[in-house]
Structure 1
Amino acid sequence: MRPLRLPPHQLHRFYAGGPAIAELRGIPSTDDHAPEDWVGSTTTLFGEERLGLSTLDDGRLLRDAIAADPEGFLGPEHTARHGPDPVLLVKLLDAGERLPVHCHPDRDFARRHLDCPYGKTEAWVVIDTAGADPAVHLGFTRDVDPGQLAGWVASQATDALLAALHRVPVAAGDAVLVPAGLPHAIGEGVLIVELQEPTDLSVLLEWEDYEVDGTTDGHLGLGFDVALRCVDRSGWGRERLERLRPGRGGNGPVRNLLPPEADPFFRAQRLSARDGVELAPGFSILVVVTGSGTLSWDGGTIDVARGDTLLVPHAAGTVHVRGDVEAIRARPPDAGQAGG
């Protein structure tokens, strides 16, 4: 089985963005509200049966291709634990405007209220920024009373919400783990590779001035009385927050990007292939962020360049990346790990 090139897969959403993804990929920008490219997706948008699923060059849905040969794509250990499910969604996300403040439920909440085995812990790998002072907003600076939070949401008190969150400057190369429940907003001009659990579950705390009606579409059909219970209202100190972005793994050719707390959900590595990188067999999504080079396996070699996205199946065996290439490698959790 050979690695597969994944075509562009931008989706229209309620917030602005998309041109930076088009520039990265070297394609025309046709929609200024297509800020997410779902890369190698077997996940649908919330409430949809098909929208969000990736289609391969031969016309098959990736979901169906994996279901037909799960061990070939995912490996026998992963398949034994998770079945024909990659347990991973990878996106390119271009924040053409600051995203609204929102959060995502954890697995326990999703199981109890949404009959879904996954929550939406996620991580951001920043690959580019625009503007003078790019930043993300993450976690409350102090404990927030449930009544106060509900009041902010009901009145759309955007200034109060933002003032209650940490503002964290970011630059290309940064990586941040965002545990489920943590309120957050990605700032304008930030382009990321996002790794996440395979759902589209979001609770909006803010929606005024966005192309969405949060009163009907912001609470996952649960009503805010229930939905707001998934929000982490605890205060996060700076030291605790910094543990979400430690930059593991040094400066070698393969650098682990996320803290150990991410491992039960997904794994992310930065590959610097100037001297060649060897990757052991295993399902992964590669996003080439700079340069050009080659990717080779026992059955052949293909050229790769900035903006390419590729799926490397387990059955491709050991692969080598060579050339003046930097890439982000997104991987599912180790087959022996299980998220909370």
Structure 2
Amino acid sequence: MHQPVELPANQPKQFYRGGEAIAALRGGESADFGPEDWVASTTTLFGRSDAGLSTLPDGTLLRDAVKADPDGWLGADHVATFGADTALLVKLLDAGQRLPVHCHPSNAFASKHLNCRHGKTESWIVVGTSGPNPTVYIGFRDNVSADTVANWVSTQNTAAMLDALNPVRVKAGDTVFVPAGLPHAIGEGVFIVELQQPTDFSVTLEWQGFLANADVGHLGLGYDAALECVDRTGWGANLGSLIKETQHTGGPFRGSVNLFSADADPFFQADRLHVDGSFGLEPSFAVLVVLEGSGSVGSLPVRKGSTVVVPHAAGETGLTGELVAIRCRPPLLSSVEGS
């Protein structure tokens, strides 16, 4: 019953373009305005009742399967801390155009204003790029006053907002940690595997040209309240703490590469697995994204583009073949306050 399960693409329609890189990885057809594939998702789009949820091959929503057997899917220790909550959302995200400048609330803000224990800290694993200048924009370069941010938003001064951020050129193998509150944007041609807390909370500073109107951008709170979640501190001298280069540039490599710093542990974990033969997976709820090659997860055949959810109760599972995969897991429990 509790065996690894391959999941089909799950691309709820978004407000921005993209999806070709997802189609190329998976071997399917590109869906315009399908730039995000929500993998093993128990999360819905903000304000929606079902859009975004992943469905298992038997037609059951993964969310409902987890609620029916949380220990089997997540493990007793995880359940003791988070209940029947995976505490994780994984996406494939292919930016077919630059995303708007936006940020996400913290746990404390979400608890106070949105009745949710999770904010939305996230991390990006760059798995491909296209175009002449694949760039992400992260954090203000210098401290910015609350009045200045409010003025940028009210006047939709796009140039000033983007110019205030730190542009960072990225390549495959780079990872970027994006703590809650950090204003950011992903540039055109950047293809990532994104790990995040399981919410769809975004405060969109730059809504004009992206959203239907300003009311869509502030989570129903009004911008006066929503902008309180913005990290207005300058990150220009501290970008190194957010960015990690993980690409292996030597000869043949077998094994696991940890992709994030310890700052990510209270939110999620990820490693890149280079398998030539076999690799043992310890018991854990996990989401696997196969980037290269083919093989199997337990008895389940996988290939480039496969996305797989692994229940905790699958136990020790062998990953065999010749392949490269990203393994995504929930928070490291020892790092979570109150666990």
- Give the TM-score range, shorter chain: over 0.9
User: In the superposition, relative to structure 1, how do residues 156 and 339 fare at CA in structure 2: closer, same or farther (>3 Å)?
Assistant: farther
> Does the CA contact (< 8 Å) of 1:249 and 1:256 recur in 2?
no
Secondary structure class of the residue paired with 1:10? coil
Distance, in Å, in 2 between the alignment partners of 1:144 and 1:327 is: 40
Match of 2:242 in 1: 244
Match of 1:218 in 2: 217
User: In the superposition, relative to structure 1, how do residues 28 and 246 fare at CA in structure 2: closer, same or farther (>3 Å)?
Assistant: closer
Q: After TM superposition, give the deviation of residue 336 of structure 1 in Å.
A: 2.8
Match of 2:43 in 1: 43
User: In the superposition, relative to structure 1, how do residues 255 and 172 fare at CA in structure 2: closer, same or farther (>3 Å)?
Assistant: same
Match of 1:59 in 2: 59
Distance, in Å, in 1 between the alignment partners of 2:247 and 2:289 is: 19
* Correspondence 1:256-267 to 2 at 5 A: 256-267=258-269
Please list every run of at least 4 consecutive aligned residues from structure 1 whose deviation after the TM superposition is greater than 4 angstroms: 247-252
| Pair 1:204 & 2:204 matched | yes
User: In the superposition, relative to structure 1, how do residues 28 and 37 fare at CA in structure 2: closer, same or farther (>3 Å)?
Assistant: same
Match of 1:306 in 2: 304
> Does the CA contact (< 8 Å) of 1:244 and 1:258 recur in 2?
no
> Does the CA contact (< 8 Å) of 1:248 and 1:259 recur in 2?
no
Match of 1:163 in 2: 163
Secondary structure class of the residue paired with 1:285? strand
Match of 2:332 in 1: 334
Q: Give the AA of the match of 2:266.
A: P
Secondary structure class of the residue paired with 2:308? strand
Match of 1:17 in 2: 18
- What's the TM-score, normalizing by structure 1? 0.95
Residue by residue over 1:136-185, the C-alpha shift from the partner in whole angstroms, topping out at 9 and shown as x without a partner, is: 00000000011111111111111111110000011111111100000000
Distance, in Å, in 1 between the alignment partners of 2:35 and 2:337 is: 28
- Which ranges of structure 1 fall in alignment gaps of 5 or more residues? none
- Which ranges of structure 2 fall in alignment gaps of 5 or more residues? none
Q: Give the AA of the match of 1:330.
A: C
Distance, in Å, in 1 between the alignment partners of 2:32 and 2:291 is: 21
Distance, in Å, in 2 between the alignment partners of 1:294 and 1:47 is: 37
Distance, in Å, in 1 between the alignment partners of 2:8 and 2:290 is: 13
Distance, in Å, in 2 between the alignment partners of 1:148 and 1:125 is: 32
Q: After TM superposition, give the deviation of residue 319 of structure 1 in Å.
A: 1.3
Match of 1:268 in 2: 270
Match of 2:152 in 1: 152
Match of 1:3 in 2: 4
Residue by residue over 1:172-225, the C-alpha shift from the partner in whole angstroms, topping out at 9 and shown as x without a partner, is: 111111000000000101111100001000000102222x13411000011111
Q: Give the AA of the match of 1:234.
A: T
Match of 1:69 in 2: 69
Distance, in Å, in 2 between the alignment partners of 1:248 and 1:191 is: 16
- What's the TM-score, normalizing by structure 2? 0.95
Distance, in Å, in 1 between the alignment partners of 2:102 and 2:66 is: 32
Distance, in Å, in 1 between the alignment partners of 2:101 and 2:254 is: 36
Q: Give the AA of the match of 1:279.
A: L
Q: Give the AA of the match of 2:288.
A: L
> Does the CA contact (< 8 Å) of 1:9 and 1:54 recur in 2?
yes
> Does the CA contact (< 8 Å) of 2:172 and 2:247 recur in 1?
no
> Does the CA contact (< 8 Å) of 2:182 and 2:231 recur in 1?
yes
> Does the CA contact (< 8 Å) of 2:273 and 2:326 recur in 1?
yes
Match of 1:318 in 2: 316
Residue by residue over 1:22-69, the C-alpha shift from the partner in whole angstroms, topping out at 9 and shown as x without a partner, is: 12111112x311111110000111111111111111000001111111
Secondary structure class of the residue paired with 2:283? coil
| Pair 1:78 & 2:53 matched | no
Q: After TM superposition, give the deviation of residue 339 of structure 1 in Å.
A: 6.1
Q: After TM superposition, give the deviation of residue 275 of structure 1 in Å.
A: 4.1
Identical columns (%): 54
Distance, in Å, in 2 between the alignment partners of 1:255 and 1:80 is: 29
Distance, in Å, in 1 between the alignment partners of 2:34 and 2:149 is: 30
Distance, in Å, in 1 between the alignment partners of 2:312 and 2:318 is: 14
C-alpha RMSD of matched pairs (Å): 1.6
What count of residue pairs does the alignment treat as equivalent?
333
Distance, in Å, in 1 between the alignment partners of 2:201 and 2:213 is: 14
Residue by residue over 1:103-134, the C-alpha shift from the partner in whole angstroms, topping out at 9 and shown as x without a partner, is: 00001111111111110000000111110110
> Does the CA contact (< 8 Å) of 1:265 and 1:339 recur in 2?
no
Secondary structure class of the residue paired with 1:276? strand
Match of 1:282 in 2: 284
User: In the superposition, relative to structure 1, how do residues 295 and 335 fare at CA in structure 2: closer, same or farther (>3 Å)?
Assistant: same
